[in-house]
Amino acid sequence: MSELKVIRLATVPNIAGLHMRPATMIGNLTSEFNARVILRKDHRCVTATDVLQVLTLGAGPGDKLELIGEGPDAQAAVDALVALIEGGFQDGQPK
């Protein structure tokens, strides 16, 4: 039986983009699920649990990220990450 694979897009809304705090939030949230999640921007793919890799995406405001989840919790993991990202990482900054 093949594993569940989920793909969704999320737009980075916050003015500062993916800096250390949001990257850490992505890594911590992803670690809570039994799923492997890849973030893709343009042609670069990184593991969502690796904060330094997430930072290398250089995602800024308005950039679109493709989230690719595989595993038993893929749907829940990707849904939670989309909510986190599109919620502006709860920065309190204008969107």
Catalytic sites, residue numbers: 19
> Could you give the CA distance from residue 75 to residue 21 in angstroms, rounded to a whole number?
24
Query: Crossing angle, helix 74-86 and helix 20-31, to 10 degrees?
Result: 160
Beta strands across the sheet bearing 5-11 = 5-11, 64-70, 36-41, 44-47
